[in-house]
Structure 1
Amino acid sequence: MSQLTVALDMMGGDYGPPVTVPAAVQALSLLPELNLVLFGSQTELSPWLRRFRLASHTRVRVQFCSQQVGNEHKAAYALRHLTDSSMRRALDALASGQARACVSAGNTGALMAMAMKTLSTLPGVDRPALITRLPQTGGGHALLLDVGANLNCGAEQLVQFALMGEQAARHILNISHPRIALLNVGAEANKGNEAVREAGLRLQQVDALHYSGYIEGDDLFSGQADVVVCDGFVGNVALKTSEGVARLLLGQRQQRGFLSKILTFWLKKRLSHLNPDQYNGASLIGLRASVVKSHGSAGSPAFLNAILQAVSEIEHDLPASIAHRFDTAPRDSHAR
């Protein structure tokens, strides 16, 4: 098996092959060492494979599936009954060692359930978390987790997310001593719910962790923290709100004169780094292998970015670094 092989769920998301196939083609052209295993419906996928000449590509293997996971499917149903879906087969390839990472734009709940079933979590990790990048003022990025995998989290899970996010920032963002913050409704020690306050107290006790305290929503892009930790409900709302504002600013189209058009062009150029498509690819970290969740509405450039994120995680062996962090963290800092 190649050391740089990614399994792709070609049917996930709102568009399927019209998006995933062109993204796969571009990924192969950008990365000469990349190998892909494509999973999808023969009826829907084959015409696109012929159109882009992927079926005979020397670095591509295609495996056809009889089922698909839809957005309407409950996680439990998908887990029990959709075992020949493109999503499940891609995860099975990862679990069996045929691939080093998996990318899917499909149903988040089903992806989480199937990934936990096929891969299981790392020792010390209760549940995986979705983590994504955020642009920062003055350049660079921060990481936000959880952004939707776990809607209700206790203090223990928040501490685990902090440890996982620390390793992601070290290996993906190349920050040697990342600053960790908890997303809260205020910066004062008495603010927030019980889980957040308890997590803050625990994080202060973790050796070699740069915990910087609470951060409020209006500072998510300020550069004050490298990793921002929250539960999946709060994180998903924060992320979707941020994406909506970015698209509002980038999508303004004034047609009332030459000056307005020039100002609109200047604004879009200055704010191009906020384009959510550049940050597509939320990694489901805490598993024994790398799984990347693409936006369901992602276009080809955004799905390509999710593939590149998966490749980066392979190169940095992120699951191994997280496992090592939990081995070395004091037990009383994340006691069960």
Structure 2
Amino acid sequence: MKIGLDIMGGDYAPKATVLGAIAAYDVLSVNQKLVLIGDKDAAISILQENNFNPDHFEYVHTTEVIGMGEHPTKAVVQKPDSSIAVGFKLLKEGAIDAFSSAGNSGAMLVGAMFSVKAIPGVLRPAIASFIPKLNGGLGILIDVGANADCKPEYLLQFGVLGSLFAQYIYNIDNPRVALMNIGEEEEKGNILCLAAYPLMKESPLINFTGNVEGRDLFGDHADVFVCDGFTGNIMLKLAESFYVVTLKKKIKDEFFDRFNYEQYGGSPILGVNAPVVVGHGISSPEAIKNMVLLSKNMVESAITDKIKLAFQ
């Protein structure tokens, strides 16, 4: 197994990404190899400063970097030797089995769509995120930003993608899928939710349990929470702020500690033909390590093949 890591992506790259690669190396097995994509000389310098043998990694040197504020499509096209563009080239060619980056999330989504492309039958790939539950469990929120505007059939497919991810990555048996809405009743919601509800209710591909409200997100009402990417991104950013608030208020609480993005590493782009993980722009070495481990788990679980089978 070869996991590609963009060492130029993120606000604290390449130092944070290379240190994260060192941390990941300590928990990967012998047959799981990290391929560092980016400025090779900078990577080796950081490794040597930390008394780490550079021979433990493979390298693909690149000369360009896509900035966090650049236009995703233009950057991917105009910077073919960027770490993100090269990473996706390697992924498409099968030189690596998974690719992860804490860089420009829009460029990661565009790169995935242009290179490995969407799985046949998947109308719109989606980005999933992780939601801690009060009972100690974990929920999946999908979509959290890939698709700001959606059609009803997209939401059904998000439910399928999230359900498969919950089942094969987190071993949740027969995951409960709910539609995020402004009320529990079937007749509640905007035009999108009103049209999506019957599609999800009648689908044999998911264990649909109905509507849930925002206040239900951290309870045990469902395992997969489905919404459009506009709504999901707002909910995700609000949830992330809880952890920051507890730190500023010097509140120590186990539940709110689980809102720390570092624990989850990154968010998978589900519905494309290879494992792709997008990390937070402010990713620390710990977050980078966990992003790599999520990539590993996605390869080991053959989640891409499971999704392909579901959408045949």
Structure 1: 5+ residue stretches without partners: 254-263, 328-336
> Alignment partner for residue 294 of structure 2, among 309, 317, 323?
309
1:223 CA drift (Å): 1.4
Distance 1:178 1:123 in 2: 23
Larger radius of gyration between Structure 1 and Structure 2: 1
Alpha-carbon contact 1:154-1:195 (below 8 Å) kept: yes
1:1-336 matches, within 5 Å, as 4-33=1-30, 34-42=32-40, 44-52=42-50, 56-58=54-56, 60-253=57-250, 264=251, 267-269=252-254, 271-327=256-312
Alpha-carbon contact 2:21-2:289 (below 8 Å) kept: yes
CA distance 1:270–1:70, change in 2 (3 Å): closer
Alpha-carbon contact 1:129-1:286 (below 8 Å) kept: yes
Instruction: Summarize deviations over 1:6-63 as a string: whole Å, max 9, x none.
Output: 00000011111111011101111111232011111245434213324556324x1111
Alpha-carbon contact 2:177-2:208 (below 8 Å) kept: yes
Distance 1:69 1:206 in 2: 40
Instruction: Summarize deviations over 1:150-177 as a string: whole Å, max 9, x none.
Output: 1111111111111111110110111121
Q: Counterpart of 1:182 in structure 2: which amino acid?
A: L
Distance 2:25 2:36 in 1: 12
CA distance 1:94–1:174, change in 2 (3 Å): same
Alignment RMSD, CA only? Answer: 1.6
Aligned counterpart, 1:261: none
Distance 2:92 2:255 in 1: 43
Alpha-carbon contact 1:55-1:61 (below 8 Å) kept: no
1:276 CA drift (Å): 2.7
Partner secondary structure for residue 72 of structure 1 = coil
Structure 2: 5+ residue stretches without partners: none
Alpha-carbon contact 1:181-1:211 (below 8 Å) kept: yes
Count of paired positions: 311
State the TM-score, normalizing by the size of structure 1. Answer: 0.88
1:270 CA drift (Å): 5.8
State the TM-score, normalizing by the size of structure 2. Answer: 0.95
Q: Which moved more, 1:37-46 or 1:126-135?
A: 37-46
Partner secondary structure for residue 189 of structure 2 = coil
Distance 2:207 2:257 in 1: 31
